[in-house]
Amino acid sequence: MRSEVVRESIELLSTGIEVLAALIIVGAIVHGIGRYAFHRATKVRDAYPLLKEKIGKGLLLGLEFLIAADIIRTVTLDPTFRNIVELGLLVIIRTFLSWSIVVEIEGHWPWKTDVRTNRKE
């Protein structure tokens, strides 16, 4: 009985983290679009790059929360070999997505020198 309560609590916790991740992503999109509209109305020159950066950062944070929820669920509830392999694949895919988003935002690989500022980021 006690293990059932713990199991349900962990499941609820990981689901809550997933919901939080979705809210972060949606919030970043809504906030980014609002800022973009404001910047366009006030004739800000770099409105689109600012929109990409805002949405990209929201996606990155949301992906981090989704990975955390998956780790909590897999490691604590059902650490079978198959589930751990699935978790590893999810982490690899989400890591690739994160790197792609970073490249899209910054315009270069993280280990490369930023040609605009001539310094390592």
Q: How is residue 119 annotated by DSSP?
A: E
> By C-alpha distance, which of 23, 21, 29 is closest to 71?
21
**Could you report the per-residue pLDDT of 51-68, keeping only the tens digit for each?**
999 999 999 999 999 999
Rounded to a whole number of angstroms, the distance between the first and last alpha carbons of the chain is 52
121 strand-pairing partners = none
Unique residue bearing structure tokens 């989704």: 66
Residue 115, CA distances (Å) to 25, 51, 99, 119, 120 in order: 29, 21, 18, 7, 9
* Length in residues, the chain: 121
Give the separation between CA 28 and CA 50, rounded to whole angstroms. 12
CA 66 to chain centre: 7
Is the pTM here over 0.75, yes or no? Answer: yes
Q: β-pairing, 119-120 with 113-114? A: antiparallel
Each residue's pLDDT tens digit, 7-53 = 899 999 999 999 999 999 999 999 999 999 999 999 888 888 889 99
